[in-house]
């Protein structure tokens, strides 16, 4: 399992320069901001963006190198190969969150609102890639890119629709209950995504 994860991380060394530039740009914006809301927005954008792009790129490298066919000769199960992609997602999202926490700590902005934003960014990255990975296994990288653009646009469209319709916000008690249940909901989404990916990969002709 560790070897499979290292394989993806070694692939990503080729993109280290571009990732470093993006992270530096992100940190410069982060340091200049004084309001917690702005920091939360940057955290969410960068963590979700990096996690999604890098996971998609790992699938693209696998397709180019015919990795899935080669992996069948290794002493690992198909479930372990799929699990590696989810571990990669958690590692990337966790690394982005760790950097965000360090910078927020340095700026003394680690208040309750910031912690909620950081948790929300991690959850959003995991849910988005949880939707993305089965699509990548099912349709391949090129077709999945189009589908993920549609998926990303749906929450944005929903947000603007919510704003324009002037719908009332949920009661604080409802929001608090949702927050308490969110770890279980997140685990359920990831578990469903994992089993769907395993099922697709098992039936995939390599």
Residue 134 confidence class, pLDDT cut points 50, 70, 90: very high
Measured between alpha carbons, how far is 67 from 78 in angstroms, rounded to an integer? 12
Q: Is the backbone of residue 33 left (phi > 0), alpha (psi -120 to 50) or beta?
A: beta
13-32 in b/e burial notation, b at 16+ Cβ within 10 A?
eeeeeeeeeebeebbeebee
Closest CA to 89 of 60, 56, 62, 66: 56
List of residues 6+ apart from 76 with CB closer than 8 A? 1, 4
Task: Please compute the mean of the pLDDT values over residues 146-155 and round it to a whole number.
Answer: 71
Res 16 pLDDT > 70: no
The model's pTM: 0.80
Give the number of other CB atoms < 10 A from CB of residue 196.
Answer: 18
The helix, strand and coil proportions of the chain, stated in percent and rounded to the nearest 5, come to 85, 0, 15
Q: Per residue in 92-108, pLDDT tens?
A: 888 877 877 777 777 67
List of residues 6+ apart from 139 with CB closer than 8 A? 147
Residue 184 confidence class, pLDDT cut points 50, 70, 90: very high
Joined together, the tokens standing for residue 121 give 């960014």
Domain residue spans in the chain?
Answer: 2-149+171-203
Q: Per residue in 31-44, pLDDT tens?
A: 666 665 556 666 66
Measured between alpha carbons, how far is 205 from 76 in angstroms, rounded to an integer? 18
DSSP state of 78: H
């Amino acid at each position: 399992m560790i070897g499979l994860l290292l394989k993806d991380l070694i692939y990503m060394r080729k993109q280290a320069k571009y990732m470093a530039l993006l992270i530096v740009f992100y940190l410069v914006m982060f340091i200049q901001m004084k309001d917690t809301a702005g920091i939360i927005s940057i955290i969410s954008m960068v963590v979700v963006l990096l996690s999604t792009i890098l996971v998609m790129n790992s699938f693209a490298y696998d397709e180019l190198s015919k990795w899935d066919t080669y992996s069948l000769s290794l002493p690992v199960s198909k479930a372990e190969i799929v699990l590696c992609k989810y571990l990669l997602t958690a590692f990337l999202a966790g690394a982005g969150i760790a950097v965000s926490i360090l910078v927020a700590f340095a700026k003394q902005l680690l208040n309750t609102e910031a912690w909620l934003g950081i948790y929300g960014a991690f959850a959003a990255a995991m849910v988005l890639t949880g939707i993305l990975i089965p699509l990548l296994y099912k349709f391949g990288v090129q077709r999945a890119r189009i589908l993920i653009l549609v998926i990303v646009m749906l929450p944005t469209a929903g947000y603007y629709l919510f704003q324009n319709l002037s719908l009332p916000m949920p009661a604080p008690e409802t929001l608090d209950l949702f927050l308490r249940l969110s770890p279980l909901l997140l685990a359920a989404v990831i578990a469903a995504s994992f089993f769907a990916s395993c099922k697709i990969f098992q039936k995939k002709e390599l």
